Amino acid sequence: MRDVQEAKHIIRAFYADLEAAPAEDAGEVMARYCDSELLWRGFHPFDEIRGARAVGAKFWTPLRQSLRRMQRRMDIFFAAPNGLDPEGGIWVSSMGHLMGLFDQPWLGIAPTGKMAFLRYCAFHRVQDGKIVETAMYFDIPHLMVQAGLQPFPEQTAAQLVQPGPMTHDGLLYEAQSAEEGAKTLAAIEAMIGDLGQWDNPLPLEEELALTWHDDMIWWGPTGIGATYTIERYAKQHSGPFRAGFTERSKTNHICRMAEGHYGGFFGWPNFTAVPSGGFMGMPATGKAGEFRVIDIYRREGDKLAENWIFIDLLHFWKQQGVDILARTNGIGFAE
């Protein structure tokens, strides 16, 4: 428990110093808190970056220069040993939005001069007082939509700036009950076991009801959207997704953990699947694609109530031969 709390303090101090420093000093802050050989995994076009200063130079400084006066508006923060690591490595997760004044171009996206929100979620592995590994996933298409672009055809669910937990209790700065964390991880494991391979003989809505509350909320990424209740989730995402893919690989997570009523996981990739029935309004390619995903969950009772999803759709579609950033830059979907 002490190691978990120490890791939380390190990450909170890192965030505070990173946001207080001038944009051009991001690499210096990274070097203070992170191992020099930090492995940083981010969404396309950043992908894997090695080295603390390199992450500062390639990601944080350009982002901070674009989203001026940036604030981290955190909705969820928790830490725990990795349930998939026999040695119990400690990870800290945070989720929310990075908000700022979008005053300079970023990734070719034209600035608006207005407030803009970048949805993010990060997992940091802390070892010997340093951050040695990070997975930071962020919804670039969500920012593109705020800038007036249309990276994808009309999605099946709702496009929103996504709020945090309905219970407003997601910032777990203090130590939590180990028993509650174990219950949350068990609920997540049950969901993965029941649903992860698409081989449950039950009808989809009955299958989902095994591990989800009926009034569940699935906060999906831009291009898919958010959906509410098992019925609408089945119609607006889960059903269409399963119908659009075949040859789904086994689930492969790097970290899976929980603390209190919150938990989550990420993979690199989580799984692969072949788009064979059309997906997101685009035709089937028959070519296997990788899904890099972070899932964050809130448990209520013995079932899951809310789920925030980050999927690297730019990477997936790039593998299918579609460069969403290049195609959408300044001209919208209907080019």
Same domain, 189 and 234: yes
Same domain, 210 and 141: no
Q: Looking at the predicted structure, is the pLDDT value of residue 332 above 50?
A: no
Is 235 a domain residue? Answer: yes
Q: Looking at the predicted structure, is the pLDDT value of residue 123 above 50?
A: yes
Same domain, 317 and 199: yes
Closest CA to 171 of 90, 85, 72: 72
Helix and strand counts by DSSP (H, E) for the chain: 11, 15
Is 232 a domain residue? Answer: yes
CA distance 269 to 281: 23
Is 261 a domain residue? Answer: yes
Strand partners, 60: none
Is 203 a domain residue? Answer: yes
Is 300 a domain residue? Answer: yes
DSSP helix/strand/coil, 234? helix
Per-residue pLDDT averaged across 187-206, rounded? 83
CA distance 142 to 133: 25
The larger pLDDT score, comparing residue 157 to residue 98, is at 98
Chain mean pLDDT for the chain: 93
pLDDT at site 196: 58
| E strand or H helix at 230 | helix 230-233
Is 31 a domain residue? Answer: yes
Q: CB 121: neighbour CB atoms within 10 A?
A: 23
Residue pointed to by tokens 């809130």 = 298
Write out pLDDT tens, residues 23-51: 999 999 999 999 999 999 999 999 999 99
Same domain, 184 and 142: no
Is 73 a domain residue? Answer: yes
Is 288 a domain residue? Answer: yes
Same domain, 138 and 197: no
Q: Looking at the predicted structure, is the pLDDT value of residue 330 above 60?
A: no
Same domain, 82 and 129: yes
Q: Is 300 exposed, middle or buried (0-12, 13-18, 19+ CB in 10 A)?
A: middle
pLDDT at site 221: 95
Q: How many domains does the chain have?
A: 2
The larger pLDDT score, comparing residue 201 to residue 143, is at 143
Same domain, 135 and 231: no
Same domain, 112 and 222: no
Per-residue pLDDT averaged across 132-160, rounded? 91
Strand partners, 98: 72, 118
Give residue 309's domain range: 178-321
Write out pLDDT tens, residues 38-90: 999 999 999 999 999 999 999 999 999 999 999 999 999 999 999 999 888 99
CA distance 183 to 335: 49
Same domain, 88 and 192: no
Distant-in-sequence, close-in-space partners of 29: CB < 8 Å, separation ≥ 6: 14, 17, 18, 21, 56
| E strand or H helix at 68 | strand 67-81
DSSP helix/strand/coil, 155? coil
Instruction: Write the CATH number for 310.
Output: 3.10.450.50
Distances (CA, A) of 10 to 7, 44, 91, 128, 272: 5, 27, 11, 11, 34
Q: What is the per-residue DSSP string for 184-213?
A: HHHHHHHHHHHHTTS---S-HHHHHHTTEE
Q: Sorting pLDDT into bands at 50, 70 and 90, what band is 331?
A: very low
Q: Looking at the predicted structure, is the pLDDT value of residue 112 above 50?
A: yes
Same domain, 210 and 93: no
pLDDT at site 29: 98
